[in-house]
C-alpha cells in the first residue's frame, strides 16, 4: 500500500513538472514578445508573463495533477496569496539582477521559474489542495476502475486456489487408491503363499 502511495506521489510530481514546463513555454513566449517587440523594462514583461502562466498552470494542475474538487474561487485565492509574496519578491529581485547587476534577463527568468516550480508544488500539495486530493470525477473514476481490477484479480486468485485444492484432493485420492491396490496385492500374494504351503504339507502327509 505504501509503495503504491509512493508511486502515486512520484507521478504527481512528474505531472506537475510537465504542466509547469508547458506554463513555462507560455511565460517565456509572452516575455519574449514583450521584451523584444515592445522593448519594455524587465518587470512589466515578467509580471504579465507570470500571470498568464499561473492561470494556465493552476487550471491544469487542479484538474489533472491534484484532481481536486474543492471550491475554485477559494483555491484561486490561496494561490493568489502565494503570488502576493512570490511575485513582488521575484519581480523586484529579478529586476535588480537584470537591470542593476546586469545579469542576462533570460538567466534571471530561468532562475525564477525553477524557484516557482519548487515552491508552488509544495504550497499547492500541502496547503491549497491538501484536503481535496483525488476528489474530482476523474479521480473517482480511476479509483472505481482500480477497485474493479482488484476484485477481478482476487476472484482469479480464489479460482486458482480452488483449482489447486481440487487437484490436491484428486492426487490424494489417487495415492490412497494406489496404496489400497498395493495392500490388496500384498494380501493376495500372502494368501497364495499360505495356500501353497498348505498344499505342500498335505502332499507330504500323504
The pLDDT value given to residue 186 = 56
φ, ψ of residue 131 to 5 degrees: the values are -95, 5
**pTM beyond 0.85:** no
Read off the C-alpha cell for 11. Answer: 507521478
- Cα–Cα distance, 121 to 124 (Å, whole number): 5
Tens digit of each residue's pLDDT, the chain (206 residues):
556 677 888 888 899 999 989 998 999 899 999 999 888 888 899 889 989 998 999 999 888 888 888 788 888 899 999 989 998 999 899 999 998 999 998 899 889 989 988 999 999 989 998 888 888 787 777 767 767 776 677 776 666 666 666 666 666 666 766 666 666 665 566 555 555 555 555 555 55
Q: Contact at 8 Å (CB) between 79 and 25?
A: no
Read off the C-alpha cell for 189. Answer: 500374494
Which residue's C-alpha cell is 490424494? 172
Dihedral-angle region of residue 173 (phi above 0 means left; psi in -120 to 50 means alpha; beta otherwise)? alpha
Is the CA virtual torsion 13, 86, 81, 54 positive or negative?
Answer: negative
| Per-domain residue ranges of the chain | 2-135, 137-206
- Cα–Cα distance, 96 to 94 (Å, whole number): 5
Query: Could you tell me the CA-to-CA distances from 39 to 48, 92, 99, 109, 141 in Å, in that order?
Result: 14, 18, 13, 16, 49
Q: Contact at 8 Å (CB) between 30 and 44?
A: no
Q: Which residues contact 52 (CB under 8 A, 6 or more apart)?
A: 26, 27, 30
Read off the C-alpha cell for 170. Answer: 484428486
- Cα–Cα distance, 167 to 175 (Å, whole number): 12
- How many other C-beta atoms can be found within 10 angstroms of the C-beta atom of residue 138? 13
Amino acid at each position: 500500500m505504501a509503495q503504491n502511495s509512493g508511486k502515486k506521489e512520484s507521478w504527481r510530481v512528474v505531472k506537475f513538472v510537465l504542466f509547469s514546463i508547458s506554463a513555462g513555454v507560455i511565460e517565456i513566449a509572452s516575455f519574449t514578445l514583450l521584451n523584444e517587440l515592445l522593448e519594455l523594462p524587465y518587470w512589466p514583461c515578467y509580471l504579465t508573463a507570470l500571470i498568464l502562466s499561473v492561470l494556465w498552470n493552476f487550471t491544469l494542475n487542479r484538474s489533472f495533477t491534484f484532481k481536486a474538487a474543492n471550491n475554485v474561487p477559494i483555491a484561486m485565492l490561496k494561490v493568489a496569496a502565494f503570488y502576493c509574496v512570490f511575485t513582488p519578491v521575484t519581480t523586484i529581485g529579478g529586476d535588480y539582477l537584470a537591470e542593476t547587476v546586469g545579469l542576462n534577463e533570460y538567466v534571471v527568468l530561468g532562475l525564477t521559474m525553477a524557484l516557482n516550480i519548487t515552491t508552488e508544488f509544495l504550497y499547492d500539495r500541502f496547503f491549497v489542495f491538501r484536503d481535496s486530493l483525488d476528489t474530482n470525477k476523474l479521480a473517482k473514476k480511476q479509483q472505481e476502475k482500480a477497485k474493479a481490477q482488484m476484485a477481478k484479480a482476487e476472484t482469479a486468485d480464489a479460482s486458482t486456489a480452488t483449482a489447486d485444492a481440487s487437484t490436491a484432493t484428486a492426487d490424494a485420492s489417487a495415492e490412497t487408491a494406489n496404496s489400497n491396490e498395493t495392500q490388496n496385492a500384498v494380501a493376495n500374494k500372502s494368501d497364495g503363499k499360505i495356500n501353497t504351503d498348505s498344499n505342500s504339507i498335505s502332499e507330504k502327509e500323504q
